Amino acid sequence: MPFSWSSLPNMAQAQLFIRLAFLVFVTALTLGGVGQANAQEATGWQVCNETSYVVEAAAAHHEGQGTVVEGWTRLRPGACETVLEGPLEPGVHYLYGRSSAAHRGGRRIWGGDFPLCIDPTGSFSIETLPDCSIMGLEAREFMPVLIERRNRWTTKITETEKRNLEQASAAGVQRLLDNAGVYSGRIDGYLGRKTRAAIGDFLKANGLNAETTDADLIDILEQTAIERSRNVGLTFCNRTDKRIWSAMARRRGEGWESRGWWLLEAGGCARVIDEPLLQAEHFAYAEMEIGEGEIRTLRRGTDPFCVSRAKFAITGNEACETAAYRTGLFVATPAPTNRKLVFEFFERDFVGFGAANAG
């Protein structure tokens, strides 16, 4: 059954409310917390993007006996947008954010641990279902946000580097310039000489007016970066109906390196190398989440590399356990074509599926 706040006894409501309020406070470092809107003209629930990424947001609120989830609201770096019109119903709402496909290194996620259904492919407005797959939807883990006012409320999405909106906008331009292949400087939120020169070169090369607004520049850079990502690098795609954590390995200089993890939701993809593939030796690894803590690994892995429980970048592929890592058996990828490669994971590739059952 869909979650219904009103279906809980009064005592259970109070206990759940306290737990969720505590969760919002504890996770404030991730999403930037909740506060009053500083733009007096704005009404409803507003989300401000203080990161250097273009963020796509989905929001959910209780309505009647169910929970309505709506997405996607696009947030430029340094911009605020309304994700739910007022008047608001004070109480717990939910928020989920993902970075644009323009950004390198796979999707970055802002969320929590409250599962709700979303449509990852386009705009949607749905009432939650007991099983997201019934309508071809997917589950994502949203963050509870406690809203206390009816007229307006603001939530900030942040990253580790603390920035105001103006600095976030500048950092966003820098990141997109880098993703578009026209800038390789620091992403610090300050438009110095190098950044301004890169902007000028980009505008001139694309026949754009020097008076192009920051918003239009971000939009054009995002599309340029998306197009560029299709033409270079290594991309992993998940062709299963389960969540997969992926890693890659390759030769670096005279040795080897392994990197992970990139989360691949069911049907999703992530670009794990963002530069032209100039040599053929690349390796892939993945672990599939089955549920209740069960993990299934690739059944044809033959090449050992080091992996870690947390996000990692490890040099070398020997004595992994001695260095407090563990050994994963990777599979060799096909050779790249025209500087790029898309490697797909299917259910048959994992222990416990396909030919492995014939055993």
Q: 10 Å Cβ neighbour count for 319? A: 10
* CA distance from start to end of the chain: 39
Residue 155's CB: how many other CB atoms inside 10 A?
Answer: 26
Statement to judge: residues 20 and 96 lie in one domain: yes
Q: Tell me the pLDDT of the chain (359 aa) as tens digits.
A: 333 333 334 444 444 443 444 344 333 333 444 433 344 456 899 999 999 999 999 999 999 889 999 999 999 999 999 999 999 999 999 999 999 988 877 678 999 999 999 998 889 999 977 888 778 788 899 999 999 999 999 999 999 999 999 999 999 999 999 988 888 889 999 999 999 999 999 999 999 998 999 999 999 999 998 887 777 788 999 999 889 999 999 988 778 999 989 989 888 888 888 777 877 689 999 999 887 778 899 988 999 999 998 888 899 888 899 999 999 999 999 988 888 889 999 999 998 875 544 33
The token pair at 215 is 């918003």
> Of the candidates 129, 157, 185, which is a domain's last residue?
157
Do 150 and 10 share a structural domain? yes
Q: Which of 59, 67, 72 is nearest to 129 (CA)?
A: 67
Phi/psi at 126 (5° precision): -140, 155
Residue 271: its H or E element: strand 269-273
- 108 and 62 in one domain? yes
**Taking CA 67 as the corner, what is the angle to CA 65 and CA 72, rounded to the nearest 5 degrees?**
155
Collapsing DSSP to helix, strand or coil, 93 comes out as strand
Alpha-carbon distance 325 to 188, whole Å?
33
Are 46 and 106 members of one domain?
yes
The rounded mean pLDDT for the chain is: 84
User: Within this chain, do residues 95 and 143 fall inside the same structural domain, yes or no?
Assistant: yes
User: Both 24 and 81 in a single domain?
Assistant: yes
- Is residue 117 within 8 Å of residue 128, measured between CB atoms? yes
Distance set, CA 279 to CA 81, 250, 254, 283, 320 (Å) = 44, 9, 14, 12, 25
The answer to whether residues 44 and 155 touch, using CB atoms and an 8 Å cutoff, is no
Which residue in 220, 276, 236 sits closest to 102, CA to CA? Answer: 220
pLDDT of residue 41: 59
pLDDT at residue number 42: 61
| Phi, psi angles (nearest 5°) of residue 311 | -55, 140
9 and 151 inside one domain: yes
- Long-range interactions of 120-123: CB distance < 8 A, separation 24+: 120/265, 120/267, 120/268, 122/72, 123/71, 123/72
Query: What are the tokens at 52?
Result: 């250097």
Which residue, among 212, 246, 213, 255, has the nearest Cα to 345 in the 3D structure?
246
pTM for this entry = 0.65
Structurally, the chain folds into a number of domains equal to: 3
Q: Are residues 130 and 249 in the same domain?
A: no
**What residues pair up with 234 in beta bridges, in sequence order?**
273, 341
- The strand pairing partners of 269, in sequence order, are 237
Task: Give the number of C-alpha atoms closer than 13 A to the C-alpha of residue 170, restricted to the C-beta side.
Answer: 17
> Which among 122, 137, 157 is the end of a domain?
157
Domain span at residue 60? 5-157
- Tell me the pairing of strands 124-127 and 66-75: antiparallel
SS3 80: strand
Strand partners, 58: 71, 96
Instruction: Please identify, among 202, 229, 256, the residue that sits at the C-terminal boundary of a domain.
Output: 229
Whole-number Å distance between alpha carbons of 347 and 133? 17
Bridge partners (DSSP) listed for residue 243: none
* Cα 109 to Cα 142: distance, rounded to the nearest angstrom: 10
**Shared-domain flag, residues 123 and 184:** no
Angle between helices 165-179 and 193-205 (to 10 degrees): 60
User: 11 with 127, same domain?
Assistant: yes
Considering the domain architecture, whether residues 114 and 172 belong to the same structural domain is answered as: no
List pLDDT tens digits, range 121-137. 889 999 977 888 778 78
* Neighbour order of strands in the sheet with 233-238: 269-273, 233-238, 340-345
Statement to judge: residues 255 and 303 lie in one domain: yes
Per this entry, what is the length of the chain?
A: 359
Q: What is the pLDDT of residue 354?
A: 58
Residue among 174, 140, 168, 141 at smallest CA distance from 156: 168
